[in-house]
Amino acid sequence: MKFKLLAISTFSLALPLGIWLSVNALSTPDIDVVSNYNLGTVVKGKVAVANLPLRNTGNAPLKVEAISTSCGCTSAKLSSMTISPGGQANLHIEYDSNAHESDRGALERYVFISSNDPKDKDLQIKLSVFVEGKPTSMISKKKVTLSIP
């Protein structure tokens, strides 16, 4: 009798827990976006632009909680902060090559995305860019002689 009571109690507790776990395990968002993107070559003073698809390949709504960048020269905006299962949003990225006077040659910047995806709560996209062009201002050293009358 005790065994039957224990078996019924265990089953009545395990069944709802099992159902809850299977429903929640099957209902998760899944963020899908490139992890590396090459913005190409940009002439000093110009802005490089990229539009990347950010997809939700899961079966629950994806909620993007925050988007930030590694530097003020780079901005990122998402067309929608909530993406339905199977849906996508546009991630618009801009890199301003004129934001820092010293930006020349091969550079890397990052976009950081925080979401409710349990596998990728915090992910980053590495941006590569090559800035070409001569410095806009040159400082030359000259010897100056002053004479006081």
Rounded to whole angstroms, the maximal C-alpha distance in the chain is 119
Residue 5 token pair: 């009571």
pTM above 0.85, yes or no: no
CATH class, domain 31-132, is mainly beta
CB 46 within 8 A of CB 133: no
* pLDDT tens readout for residues 70-112: 999 999 999 999 999 999 999 999 999 999 989 999 999 999 9
Residue percentage of the chain with pLDDT more than 90 = 68
CA–CA gap between residue 43 and residue 13 (Å, rounded): 66
Residue with tokens 């915090």: 122
35-81 pLDDT per residue, tens: 999 999 999 999 999 999 999 999 999 999 999 999 999 999 999 99
- Between CA 47 and CA 32 the distance in angstroms is 26
Segment (H or E) for 114: strand 105-115
- Does the pLDDT at position 7 exceed 60? no
